Chain A
Amino acid sequence: MLAGDAISPAEKDTLLTQVQEDPDAWPALVLDQRMDGLLRGLGHARASEQKFVANTVNRWKSAQDRRSQPRKLWPRLALTAGLVAAVAWAAGHWRNHQYSAGGPPPIATAEKSTPLTNTDLPQWNAQPQLGSFPEDQAPADPTGSTGPPTTILNLDFEDGALPEILSTGAVVSGPPRAGNRFCAIGGVSPWTLRVNVIALTGGPQGLLTYDDTRSLRFRYWVGAETQRIVVQAKNLRLQQNFNAAIAPQVHGEWAWATLLLSALEPFEPRRPMQIGDPIYDILIMAGTLGGDAFYLDDIAIIETHR
């Protein structure tokens, strides 16, 4: 669970993505969180034994003192009644003020109180903007534009070196393809325990900026068991992950995939990305550790001019 240190909202989204993709990961995550908690609890107990014992004994003494004092009910009842009346008056005044100021009525939260279950989690299915194409069919521009596109980023791995922005994954020779020598293979990430990940990460300013004219394109190779390729991008301004899934058209062969960055969707809260938003990283996830391998090649960000 990696819960020992603080987990950012975006990292929580990544963990949620993982269990959404692989519900069987839950038991392992829960057991790992319990082991992490057990170790932290033991360490904390060892470090603060005297303080904890002293505080607990003080609480016990206070409770004993309170119990030994004679109860005086009337002053307490009067105080409680006064407090209730004051709160009721303040709540009514606040509501009236809200209405009279022309603002919206208070939001009712009762409708949202149903606990979330796994089946309530959003399902990402292949969207019309997303595409997966056989190797011999180069993907069309998903924006429908016929103007000349600009390549903002392109990784073909042909020098065999690990690009600096490839923060998770490795460069290998991979499954053969005519004229190709190297590609990237998915690796392990601390936030995605059971899924193969290829991550592109930028510096503090981000990897690129969001625009609805931009799309991600790559060649993929997935095994027979892989049903979906999940793409996740972290929006730095919103500190939130945006996700999309692509259903592979072919397995055990190289094929193309493309998606518009505007097809990426967040979990709650569902705030939209805005043009110019910095995107910190892009994670492409498929297969499972120890199971299906996952390769990518010719990863590119393409911009179509309006």
Chain B
Amino acid sequence: MDAPENMSRQDRDLLDALHSGSQAGFERLVQIMHSSVRAYLTSFIGDVGVADDLAQETFLAAYRDRASFGGRSTISTWLLGIARNRALGYLRSKLRQEAKGAAAWDLAQTEKMVNALTDEASFGANHERGLAALHNCIDKLAPHSGRLVAEHYFRQRPLVELAREAGRKESTVRVELLRVRTWLRRCVETTLSEAVQI
């Protein structure tokens, strides 16, 4: 398949990597897309270990079935579509298991995530744009909030440790982080809606 003229450089790289059929091509595909696919899966699955496993399966399935990529979407959208189907399969299986006796909260939560994933119409391109917007929004956070996000999410330090360091209650830091996430969500939504208007 020839690359269209208006294709971005990343998409060209992905297309080359996908069609090379070599180990180097596969590695390149994983390097370019792993962060987006893993973040997408963790946003529905919650557990980073399970999300990583599903991400690996996504890349293996994509490379095995690369001939089925018809070029009707970008490769990243196509990959995220495979990831979405894997996530749905996992969550539905989890739902069946949890129906046999898991805590009512876990069951209700899994059901909501299955619904969210099933109803999601804009899983592909919007996820990529959303991630770009999220990075910009994180840069706009107030210094204190930005530090909290960096320490907890990017340096993976537990909240109890951050609270102890700041001489505050863990519950206070939890609420603060909740507010930061709410702000980030609204910032991403605003950025995406402004992009649509343009």
Name A residues whose Cβ lies closer than 8 Å to a Cβ of B: 2-5, 9, 12-13, 15-16, 19, 26, 29-49, 52-53, 55-57, 59-61, 63, 109, 112-118, 121, 188-190, 193, 267-268
Contacts and interface: CB of A to CB of B under 8 A. Distances in A.
A60 B154 contact: no
Interface of B: 23, 26-27, 30-31, 34-35, 38-46, 48, 51-52, 55-56, 59-60, 63-64, 95-96, 99-101, 103-109, 111-113, 116, 131, 134, 149, 152-156, 158-160, 171, 174-175, 177-178, 181-182, 184-185
Nearest to B150: A43
23 contacts: A2-B178, A9-B103, A12-B103, A29-B112, A32-B182, A35-B181, A36-B181, A39-B134, A40-B153, A42-B153, A43-B154, A44-B42, A45-B38, A47-B154, A52-B38, A53-B31, A53-B34, A56-B30, A112-B101, A113-B96, A114-B99, A115-B99, A267-B103
Given A32-B182, A47-B154, A56-B55, 8 more contacts: A32-B181, A42-B39, A44-B52, A45-B39, A49-B35, A53-B34, A113-B96, A116-B99
Contacts of B106: 12
B158 A42 contact: no
B145 to A, nearest CB: 12
Nearest to A193: B178
Contacts, number: 168
A32 B171 contact: no
A33 B178 contact: no
A48 to B, nearest CB: 8
A35 B185 contact: yes
Contact of A118 (B55, B108, B171, B175): B108
A5 B160 contact: yes
A56 B185 CA distance: 31
Given A30-B113, A41-B40, A45-B39, A113 B171 contact: no
Nearest to B149: A39
Contacts of B159: 4-5
B184 to A, nearest CB: 6
Nearest to B160: A5
Nearest to A15: B105
The 8 A-B pairs of least Cβ separation, nearest first, read A41-B42, A41-B39, A12-B105, A37-B43, A43-B153, A190-B174, A45-B35, A39-B153
Contacts of B160: 5
Contacts of B103: 9, 12-13, 267-268
A32 B184 CA distance: 10
Nearest to B127: A38
Contact of A2 (B113, B153, B154, B174): B174
Given A32-B185, A53-B34, A43 B156 contact: yes
A2 B51 CA distance: 18
B52 A52 contact: yes
Contacts of B48: 40-41, 44
A203 B100 CA distance: 35
Contacts of A37: 39, 42-46, 51
Nearest to B63: A60
Contact of A53 (B30, B108, B178, B182): B30
Contacts of A9: 103
A110 to B, nearest CB: 9
A35 B152 CA distance: 14
Given A5-B160, A37-B42, A116-B111, A57 B178 contact: no
A58 to B, nearest CB: 10
Given A40-B153, A53-B34, A116 B44 contact: no
Contacts of A63: 60, 64
B56 A55 contact: yes
Contacts of A30: 112-113, 116
Contacts of B149: 39
A56 B46 CA distance: 20
A44 B38 contact: yes
Given A3-B46, A37-B45, A114-B99, A60 B38 contact: no
Most buried by A among B30, B51, B63, B113: B30
Contacts of A41: 38-43, 48, 51
B12 to A, nearest CB: 20
Contacts of A4: 152-153, 159, 177
Contacts of B108: 16, 19, 116, 118, 121
B23 A115 contact: no
B191 to A, nearest CB: 14
